[in-house]
Structure formats: C-alpha cells, structure tokens
C-alpha cells in the first residue's frame, strides 16, 4: 500500500490485510496519479459499492496556487449530475489532505482506445453522442469544461462514456464584465483558437471546438492539429488547417468541418450538432441514458432561496473534516447551521426571535436583517440571517454580524440565538449532527 494513504493514522483503522479510512472506505490499489493527487480504487465498507478515492495534498495545492481549482472542481461536480459525467459522492478531509469519493469507472480512458487506431464508426458515434449529451447538460447549468480530451473521458463496464476532471472548468461567476472568459487553459492540441488570444472567449463555444477535435481523433486515429514544433501547431489551429484521411465518412467530414471553424460565432451549436445527419444516424435512445432527474421542489408560485455554493457547504459544514482552514477568506464574523426545515419555516422562526428580543427587523426574499435598539460599545448590533438551499431536504443558514461589537455579538449568539433555534437546527458548523424536532 502506498504511503500516501498509510500515514493518515488519525482517520484510519488498520488490519494486516485491510486499510479503512474514515471508518467507512476500504482503500485498494493505486489507479493513477497526477501532480497534486493520487487516485485509488476503494470500496464502501457498509454497502460494498466500488468507488474511486482521489487524494489531494493540501500543502501541495497551497504552494501551487491551485486552491481555486479545487474549489471549482467540487462546486461543479456537485452541480452537474448526469449519467455521462463521473459522479462525486462526498468530500472528506483531514488536516493534511482532501479526499474526493467518486464513482468508480472501470473501463479506463477513451484515449487508450484511440491510441490503438481509429474506432469503428458506430462506436465513435456512440461516444460522441454521449459526450455531446453530457456537455449540453453542463452548459445548461452554466458550466464550461475547458479541458475536454480523450484522457478526461472514461468508459464504464458497459462502454458508456463518463466525462471527468473539472479542475479547469468555469462557472458564470468566472465571466468578466464583458460576459467572456479570459483565462488561457486547456491542452494545446484540443484548445480552441480564441482561447489562445487575449480577447476573451465563450467557454461553451470553446468546448464545442474541443469536441470537434475529439470526433476527428475518434474517426481517424490521430489528431487534426499536431506538430513537434508547438508554434507551428498553434499556427495550424489559428488557421484551422487540417486534412481528412481518405477513410473518413462523408457525413462525419461535414460535421467536423462545422465544428473546427476558427470563428466561434460561425461554429455549430450543440443544438446544431444534434440535427446533423451523421449524429442522428443511429437512434439516440439506444446509446443515451436520460439525464438524472433531480427534483427541484420548486412551486412556480413560491419564491425559493438561492442554491448554496456546494464548496462553501462542504468547507463549512463537514463535521470533523473542516476544509475551511485550507481556503480561508476574509468573511465577516458569522455562524452557520444546517436544518431540515423549510426555508419559510426558518424565516418565520427568525422573525419570531427578533420580535421576542425587541429587535428591528426587515426581510427581503430569504435574507433577514436584525438590528438592536440599544447602543453598544461600537454602536448598535446589526446582524443578517440568510437561508440557502443545498438539497431537497437540507437548508443552510448563515447568521452574520454586519456591524457592532464582536464580543456582544458572540454573547448574543450563545445566550439568545442558539437556545431559541434549537428545535430547527440539525447541526451547527463543526458540530456533530443532532436530532431535529421540526415537522415542516
């Protein structure tokens, strides 16, 4: 067993033949490794479910300035739930390492198949259909992958494709004021020409270019833009210079030619891809599982609290495995708790508390402000409570001090807030879960 796992005595139980981490996952053989992470085969000790365990060194991530990439990857994988995307089951951590518990995909990389030569057209079509289905879903959630390549496309035991590695992906909040992305990233042979410029680019359109490169590779067995000289390769990409081999199917040529278009505004859209004859030749239903139906539990007549950033939730609420020490920021003083009560029930509870304590209160949507009527050491205490959705039956409440004395705020939380909210709190930040008495 690799020492990378064995050294974590604080979270493991060891026997001569088994290595269990967090009392839950048995760690097996090393599957692969990169600069900052190692991936192991694992098994849920309670359910016998196979998993992949990605182990990341916090110290290496800090030194390399990769904090944002880890934050982003967790956020995106929590957001994107699709049968052709590798699923993230949970994130755990110790003082020194972060553990991604992920879906185990046993078929290996699509790259391994392409490395042996071109694929039969029906297999290339199947993989490309599933890739487009996954990317269409990602784009519908505002996620651009930005590093699509066969090495990041895995195959399961049923030869279904699974997109992985969202470390370079982008969310809407990464757009600049011009509505574009500006970070140059990706793998050179697959990167869109506009990404190489400094003018900004549309992440979804850049992903479509990468899909075109992948389709070319699937049907030809090699890459459209390749040269031992990097600058020559970039010049080919900028000009869109490539040649089809004689065996390339005519409908496939027409499709690739509409994807590898240098001008992103003339490049085929996802919807356009789905209308192409080559793409539609085989029934999609025989290859494409339906996207997972994740109920949003939203009544169109009732406003809903905004969705809580998945990474913030994991960082702040993972009981015993707090990641916040790795990704510190300058947030104002606050307390956080989870609840299984509805957002409206929580808001009503806070309004009742404010009235009972004779606080001035105002609310908008699912954010409530409370202000003391008496002057303290640093003026009147002003606090906010905001409710976020995390899942169908879980909400997160962030209770923060906006102004006033911190010691007065801490005393107020301990003596007034916590006792008053005990019947709706599932767990305060960093504490173990407790029973809920809420019937909402």
What CATH number corresponds to the domain at position 97? 3.30.200.20
Q: How many CB atoms lie within 10 A of CB 104?
A: 21
Examine residue 79 and state whether it is found in any structural domain, yes or no: yes
Can you spell out the DSSP letters for 60-107? HHHHHT-HHHHHHHHHHHHH---TTBPPEEEEEE-SSEEEEEEE--TT
Q: Which of 6, 45, 147, 227 does the annotation list as catalytic? A: 147
Residues in the chain: 440
366 shares its domain with 317: yes
Q: What is the pLDDT of residues 174-226, one digit of tens each?
A: 777 777 777 777 788 999 999 988 788 999 999 999 999 999 999 999 999 98
- Answer with the one of 103, 137, 172 that is the final residue of a domain: 103
What CATH number corresponds to the domain at position 235? 1.10.510.10
The pair of three-digit structure tokens given for residue 299, joined into one six-digit string: 């009544």
Q: How many domains, the chain?
A: 3
Q: Which residues contact 383 (CB under 8 A, 6 or more apart)?
A: 369, 370, 371, 399, 400, 401, 402, 404, 409, 412
Q: What is the pLDDT of residues 58-110, one digit of tens each?
A: 888 888 888 878 888 888 888 888 999 999 999 998 888 999 999 999 988 99
Question: pTM surpassing 0.75?
Answer: no
Q: Is the pLDDT of residue 1 over 90?
A: no
278 shares its domain with 319: no
270 shares its domain with 375: no
- 267 torsion bin: left (phi>0), alpha (psi -120 to 50), beta (else): beta
Active site residue 147: yes
16 shares its domain with 163: no
Contact criterion met (CB below 8 Å) for 400 and 383 = yes
Q: Is 258 annotated as a binding residue?
A: no
Q: What is the pLDDT of residues 409-422, one digit of tens each?
A: 888 888 888 888 88
324 shares its domain with 182: no
Q: Is the pLDDT of residue 429 over 70?
A: no
């Amino acid at each position: 067993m690799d020492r990378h796992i064995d050294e974590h005595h604080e979270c493991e139980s060891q026997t001569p033949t088994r290595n269990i981490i967090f009392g839950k996952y048995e760690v097996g053989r090393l599957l692969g490794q990169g600069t900052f992470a190692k991936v192991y085969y694992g098994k849920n000790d309670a359910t016998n479910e196979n998993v992949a365990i990605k182990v990341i060194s916090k110290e290496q991530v800090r030194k390399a300035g990769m904090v944002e990439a880890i934050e982003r990857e967790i956020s995106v994988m929590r957001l994107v739930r699709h049968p052709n995307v590798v699923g993230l089951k949970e994130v755990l951590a110790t003082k020194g390492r972060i553990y991604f518990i992920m879906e185990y995909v046993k078929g290996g990389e699509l790259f391994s198949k392409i490395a042996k030569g071109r694929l039969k057209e029906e297999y290339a079509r199947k993989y490309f259909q599933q890739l487009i289905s996954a990317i269409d879903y990602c784009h519908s959630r505002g996620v651009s992958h930005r590093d699509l390549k066969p090495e990041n496309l895995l195959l399961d035991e049923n030869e279904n494709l699974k997109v992985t590695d969202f470390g370079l992906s982008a969310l809407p909040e990464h757009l600049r004021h011009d509505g574009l992305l500006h970070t140059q990233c990706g793998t050179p042979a697959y990167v869109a020409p506009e990404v190489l410029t400094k003018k900004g680019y549309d992440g979804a359109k850049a992903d479509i270019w990468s899909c075109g490169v992948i389709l070319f590779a699937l049907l030809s067995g090699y890459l459209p833009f390749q040269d031992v000289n990097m600058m020559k390769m970039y010049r080919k990409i900028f000009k869109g210079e490539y040649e089809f081999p004689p065996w390339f199917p005519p409908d496939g040529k027409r499709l690739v030619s509409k994807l590898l278009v240098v001008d992103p505004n003339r490049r085929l859209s996802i919807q356009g891809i789905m209308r192409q004859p080559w793409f539609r030749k085989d029934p999609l239903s025989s290859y494409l599982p339906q996207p997972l139906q994740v109920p949003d539990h939203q009544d169109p007549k009732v406003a809903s609290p905004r969705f809580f950033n998945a990474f913030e939730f994991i960082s702040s609420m993972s009981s015993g495995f707090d990641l916040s020490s790795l990704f510190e920021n300058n947030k104002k003083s606050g307390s956080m708790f989870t609840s299984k009560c509805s957002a409206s029930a929580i808001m009503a509870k806070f309004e009742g508390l404010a009235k009972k304590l004779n606080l001035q209160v105002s609310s908008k949507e699912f954010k409530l402000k409370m202000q003391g009527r008496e002057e303290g050491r640093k003026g009147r205490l002003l606090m906010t409570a905001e409710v976020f959705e995390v899942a169908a039956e879980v909400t997160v409440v962030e209770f923060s001090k906006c102004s006033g004395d911190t010691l007065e705020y801490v005393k107020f939380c301990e003596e007034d807030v916590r006792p008053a909210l005990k019947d709706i709190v599932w767990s305060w930040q960093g504490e173990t879960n407790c029973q809920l008495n809420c019937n909402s």
